[in-house]
Chain A
Amino acid sequence: GQQVMQIPQYQHVQEGEDFTTYCNSSTTLSNIQWYKQRPGGHPVFLIQLVKSGEVKKQKRLTFQFGEAKKNSSLHITATQTTDVGTYFCAGLRDYKLSFGAGTTVTVRA
């Protein structure tokens, strides 16, 4: 079945630094979504990418969808303590949504 791999599993970041989390699918995706889950909370939608090569920005967050629609990345610049949480990518194919295992981010002040 469809698999979505996400790396790294953990990211420890110094406040102010940048980091990137990567998502790779074994199959071509219709679209990819990104979610953020704060500790003890539920996943909250961040963004959806649909087109090949698409790049979208939300303030310090940059999302990219690969040309082959099999991979995606989330890059966060100037990390803040509010960025703490787990970031998930989710790929859609044939009405089924497959989530990556997530990247859990901790921030050193």
Chain B
Amino acid sequence: EAQVTQNPRYLITVTGKKLTVTCSQNMNHEYMSWYRQDPGLGLRQIYYSMNVEVTDKGDVPEGYKVSRKEKRNFPLILESPSPNQTSLYFCASSLYREGLYEQYFGPGTRLTVT
């Protein structure tokens, strides 16, 4: 089954404690992306990756890091989480062939930073 998986689905942590949210896709997609969703603001792109070892900032990259060492995985790293990073996070992947195709979203990770 074609899917995007994220772990964990729910996480409560404290300020300053490093954490990683994993994302994996089994569709051999080139393009992967992380979004955060906050009420009234829609989905805002944090980072995206066009392929292995190619990553770039989205609209709200501050406080986040990513890596793309393998095509299927795109982890999101919060080195020192702060309460304003409490949000619902989505990972997504899609084909990229001279243009972006439909994005497949993971189930989401609800993060609370106290």
Contact = CB atoms under 8 A, between A and B. Distances in A.
Interface of A: 1-2, 6, 9, 30-31, 33, 35, 42-45, 48, 50, 88, 90, 92, 95-102
Interface stretch (B20-28, B62-70, B72-80, B96-104): B96-104
Interface of B: 31, 33, 35, 40-45, 48, 50, 56, 58-59, 90, 92, 99-108
A31 B90 contact: no
A43 B102 contact: no
A57 B48 CA distance: 30
Given A42-B106, A88-B42, A98 B59 contact: yes
Contacts of A88: 42-43
Classify the interface of chain B: helix, strand, loop or mixed: strand
Given A99-B42, A100-B42, A92 B107 contact: no
Given A95-B56, A97-B103, A99-B44, 4 more contacts: A6-B42, A50-B99, A95-B100, A96-B58
A42 B108 contact: yes
Contacts of B108: 42
Given A95-B56, A96-B48, A102 B42 contact: yes
Classify the interface of chain A: helix, strand, loop or mixed: strand
A48 B45 contact: no
Nearest to B102: A45
